Structure 1
Amino acid sequence: MATSMVRALAALLLLATAGTHSAAASDFASERRRMMEQIELLARQTSVETGRPAFDARVMTVMSTVPRHEFVPPDQVDVAYANRPVPIGHGQTISQPYIVALMTDLAKAEPGHKVLEVGTGSAYQAAVMARLARAVYTIEIIEPLGLQATQRLQKLGYGNVQVRTGDGYHGWEEHAPYDAILVTAAASHVPPPLIRQLKPGGRMVIPVGAAFMVQQLMLIEKNADGTVSTRQILPVAFVPLTGRR
């Protein structure tokens, strides 16, 4: 086949592919906008409980740009941007967008901060935090999910996130202390190792309560003298934190 013909066919193929990607991006952009509208609405509706009628602009920008559809199984892509949890296998879920935005907002991560996440799941929350903080360390107890998360983050270019397979109850001492800690599974109590690994002035956001029941999303703040203050934010429903106590 003549070189000119090969080039022409290649150009047509590129145009067709670009058109497909463009259409898909447009579809997701529309779904993303609807997701952001839902987050804004719920932030206003829960402002009495959270004290936050609107989330930080940096958080909202990140929520509008991280490709949530990349963090769900292929058969769940159609509902990736729906404001509800989405199953990701192994009895786990990716949290609803509003809850991800709320927890991220409460953590108050800054560009120089180091963040610990307990419960990697699909790595969506870690990806959101990675756009706001200097480094994110995330722990997943279910090995297949941890491996998938590592591969997904590498593929999408999140080089400031490290994933470890293990029991997150005990935190990740090697990189402590942390400016913020997010726990994305419900614990019966606040794990003492995580309190110890939280930097003075740091914040932890964690759902606390019985497994498969309504829990309370808690904000834990560590004072300069090492004491902690706690505040209930909202009733929530998370999968349970597993592992040895």
Structure 2
Amino acid sequence: MKDTFTHQGMRKRLVETLKKKGIVNNNVLQAISKIPRHLFMDSSFVDHAYTDKAFPIAADQTISQPYTVARQTELLEVEKGDKVLEIGTGSGYQSAVLLELGVTLFTIERQNELFKKTKLFLPKLGYKPKRMIFGDGYIGLEEEAPYDGIIVTAGAPFVPNPLLAQLKIGGKLVIPVGDNVQIMTVFTRKSEAEFVKEEHGEFRFVPLLEDKN
């Protein structure tokens, strides 16, 4: 499939929708205007690629609503060159947004089917995470820590302590916390032991899976 002028026009309209919903970070909006979201979805959903909705992908997972991706990215407050850990690679769309912003990205996916598919797919679009790992997001990726930012793209029933521990001083963890409905929560590390917590409204995510093996 190609990225046509029609798709580009649809993305411009999507960006206008996100602005009306309160997204103000121009770098985030530019990334969303550039990335061909329709290529991350099953061909039967292509007509819906630029509506502000979540849609099913493989392994009973979803590609997040564009507003959710934009809001989480905005809350992360990353700058070019920042080291970011993403928990839940999924379709790779959130990964692409972060890479478009110029971060050094490490990303973990728990579903093997998605991991294999996305690992092959992202580089075809020119998006190359520093590392993509098949594994348990609850434990993070300690050997590459600390991170400027950690983003969790699935609903977490609790905040995993290893993720907090792997933040730099000044770094942020953006995580949707809760069971059926999640509260978008941001933890900013102020010192070795001190974290500031902020809450940013209700969202709905598929659950974060813990490694049961």
Task: Indicate whether the TM-score tops 0.5.
Answer: yes
| Residue 168 (structure 1) shift | 0.4
Report matched runs for 1:73-222 at 5 Å.
73-210=42-179, 213-222=180-189
Other-structure match for 2:34: 65
Which structure has the bigger radius of gyration?
1
Structure of higher RCO (CA pairs closer than 8 Å, 6+ residues apart): 2
- Residue 232 in structure 1 maps to residue 199 in structure 2: yes
Identical aligned residues as a percent: 41
**Which 5+ residue runs of structure 2 have no aligned equivalent?**
none
- When the two structures are superposed, what TM-score results if normalisation uses the length of structure 1? 0.83
**Which 5+ residue runs of structure 1 have no aligned equivalent?**
1-19, 44-53
In structure 1, C-alpha distance between the alignment counterparts of 2:184 and 2:103, rounded to whole Å: 25
| Residue 243 (structure 1) shift | 1.2
Per-residue CA deviation, residues 187-206 of structure 1 (Å, 9 max, x unaligned), is 11110000011111001110
Tell me how large the CA RMSD over aligned residues is. 1.6
**Secondary structure at the counterpart of residue 91 of structure 1:** coil
Per-residue CA deviation, residues 102-139 of structure 1 (Å, 9 max, x unaligned), is 11011011112000000110010011001113311111
Amino acid at match of 1:243: E
Kept after mapping to 1: 8 A contact 2:90/2:115: yes
Amino acid at match of 1:64: S
| Residue 154 (structure 1) shift | 1.4
Other-structure match for 1:29: 8
| Residue 225 (structure 1) shift | 4.2
Kept after mapping to 2: 8 A contact 1:55/1:102: no
In structure 1, C-alpha distance between the alignment counterparts of 2:160 and 2:62, rounded to whole Å: 22
- The answer to which structure has the higher helix fraction is 1
- When the two structures are superposed, what TM-score results if normalisation uses the length of structure 2? 0.95
Moved over 4 A (4+): none
